[in-house]
Amino acid sequence: MTTDIQHLIDKYFDGESSAEEEKILRRSFTQEDLPEELKVYASLFHFLDDEATALAILNEIRSEEKRPARRSLLSLRNLRTIAAVAATLLIAVLLLTRPDRKPALTGSYVWVDGKQITDPATVRKYAEASFGKIQPESDIIEDQLRFILE
């Protein structure tokens, strides 16, 4: 048996061992009654056995985590779609049937300091003051040309 194990160890270190042969090696080094010449390799194969066990457990955990994640991803995607449709319908209904819609103001009015003024004389006064501040474009261009040409 020691010669078989030694042969498998040689194949392992040469990179020619199969996965099944490596399993045999890991199992054989878990035994308590190892010959002295093989105890040198015991820690290496204990580590490999522990790593294989840990990887198997990790793969099992990952496969269990993937199943519910897909379901929750699908339900989350469906929930987003339903929420988007509901929000769109709500906005459409609110825009089309706003109960707080005020009737359009008729006549002249002006807003001054956040207050609406509807008195026609006051509105005219503010309008004339605003129109008086407007300078025709031709005057602006002429002023700029005079400044350049001086």
Task: Give the phi and the psi of residue 35 in degrees, each rounded to 5.
Answer: -65, 155
Alpha-helical (H) ranges within the chain are: 2-14, 19-28, 42-96, 120-132, 137-149
Do residues 35 and 2 lie in contact, with contact meaning Cβ atoms separated by under 8 Å? yes
Instruction: Kindly list the domain boundaries of the chain, sorted by start residue.
Output: 1-101, 110-149
What does the pLDDT look like over 6-33, one tens digit per residue?
Answer: 888 888 888 888 888 888 887 787 777 7
* Distance, CA of 130 to CA of 112 (rounded, Å): 12
- Look up residue 117 and give its two tokens: 């003024």
Confidence band, pLDDT 50/70/90 cuts, at residue 96? confident
Check residue 114 and report its DSSP letter: T
Q: pTM of the prediction?
A: 0.35
Helix (H, G, I), strand (E, B) or coil at 125: helix
Each residue's pLDDT tens digit, 77-87: 888 888 889 99
